[in-house]
Amino acid sequence: MTTRRRFTLTQYLIEQRRRFPSASGDFNALVLDVALACKAIARSVAFGELTGVLGNPVVDVATSLNVQGEEQKRLDVISNEYFTQMTEWGGHLAGMASEEMDEPYQIPDTLQRGKYMLVFDPLDGSSNIDVNVTVGSIFSILRAPQEVIDSGRDVVEADFLQPGAQQLAAGYALYGPTTMLVLTVGNGVAGFTLDPNLGQFMLTHPTMTVPEDTQEFAINASNSRFWEAPVKRYVDECLAGKTGPRGKDFNMRWIASMVAEAHRILMRGGVFMYPRDTKDASKPGRLRLLYEANPVGMLIEQAGGRASTGREPMLAVRPTSLHQRIGLVFGSKNEVERIERYHAEPQAFKDERNPLFAERSLFRD
């Protein structure tokens, strides 16, 4: 019986590097450092409460909230440290930015600096970890501005404010029944499964694609009273099923862990919506542009899907701040484009507050 040969992540990166004969290898080395951090986080997640890292926020109340105003779990802090400590030493980075840090992270003066910048959410979905729901890490690699490379100065917030189309690579690690690393370096999307015997990420999903059509959508229905009219219209049409304007039944999913949602869509299609709503007028969305929306957007589009704010392509948005929030819709291309059309059309939606014109909906205000 012939055993199927699988490529390691290192071998895959070497193969990809051959597209750029003049490449120095720094980029590959950085990706491998990120993968090492993800392995370390996977181990901490796997041991769970056996090591006492779950469920407890950090001890110091003054530092128990991150810049987003969210409670930091111990594992959030530990995961952030894995990312910084395992990537700062290699000489490939000019600086980093993380969801868990207020300001950009500077490479220590004692270490060599490089030409790339790393942005990451070290543990996405950590609020669900106490109930053993799949969580993950999301990351993106950017090229540092030439002035930063030439001068070696500390990075500042403005250096990171690059539209998603300028990302060099993006990916996520998924800590579930198996640990996976899903990666794009601008040439499609590949999935790697961690072999616990070898300690290596092995290529198991060489060409991940998002089907153009789907019958699944994911949205937090508890926010329905805050949705804008185009989103309400889309969800109502899906819920109407075969007897409605779409002429087919849809299933609704909601895991509340974006890496898990993104992975499901990459594996079998679907559409995910965390749109802008009226729940908090001070926040134009819930998800972070640099650490979540842009990396996932690049992955989805490299896999043949589409990522959008609902009004414009996600990867075209120019960031205005390090921790900027934004609405996000991504997944099967035809469904996302439909949602964009609904946003672009004149508001022909009837006033649901008037019972004479109200349309039937499970989510009526």
Render pLDDT for 5-27 as a digit per residue (tens, 0 to 9). 789 999 999 999 888 887 788 99
Does 9-205 match 216-344 in CATH topology? no
- What pairing do the DSSP bridges indicate for beta strands 325-326 and 200-205? unpaired
Which residues, listed in sequence order, are joined to residue 190 by a DSSP beta bridge?
183
Structure tokens at 8: 């390691």
DSSP E strands: which ranges in the chain?
93-98, 105-106, 116-124, 135-143, 169-175, 179-184, 190-195, 200-205, 216-219, 251-253, 271-274, 287-288, 306-308, 325-326, 328-331
The set of residues, in sequence order, having a beta carbon less than 8 Å from that of 196 and lying 6+ positions away, is: none
Q: pLDDT by residue (tens digit) across 71-92?
A: 678 899 999 999 999 999 999 9
Please name which of 71, 123, 70, 75 lies closest in space to residue 98, comparing C-alpha atoms. 123
The span from the CA of 251 to the CA of 215, in Å, is: 6
CATH architecture of 216-344: 3-Layer(aba) Sandwich (3.40)
Torsion 165-161-210-174 (CA) sign: positive
Token pair recorded at residue 130: 């106490």
Residue-level pLDDT at 356? 37
Q: For residue range 287-303, list pLDDT tens digits in order.
A: 999 999 999 999 999 99
What are the residue boundaries of the structural domains of the chain, listed by start?
Answer: 9-205, 216-344
User: Does the pLDDT at position 145 exceed 80?
Assistant: yes
Pairing, β 216-219 against β 271-274: parallel
Confidence (pLDDT) at 209: 97
- Mean predicted lDDT score pLDDT of the chain: 90
In percent, how much of the chain has pLDDT > 70?
88
CA distance 354 to 361: 14
9-205 has CATH 3.40.50.2000 classification? no
Q: 97-111, 228-242, 277-291 — which is least confidently predicted?
A: 277-291
- The rounded distance, in Å, linking the Cα atoms of 317 and 183 is 22
Determine the Cα–Cα distance for residues 271 and 42; give it in Å rounded to an integer: 27
123-132: pLDDT as tens digits:
998 888 888 8
Task: Please work out, in degrees rounded to the nearest 5, the angle formed at the alpha carbon of residue 63 by the alpha carbons of 57 and 69.
Answer: 85
Do 289 and 326 form a contact (C-beta atoms < 8 A)?
Answer: yes
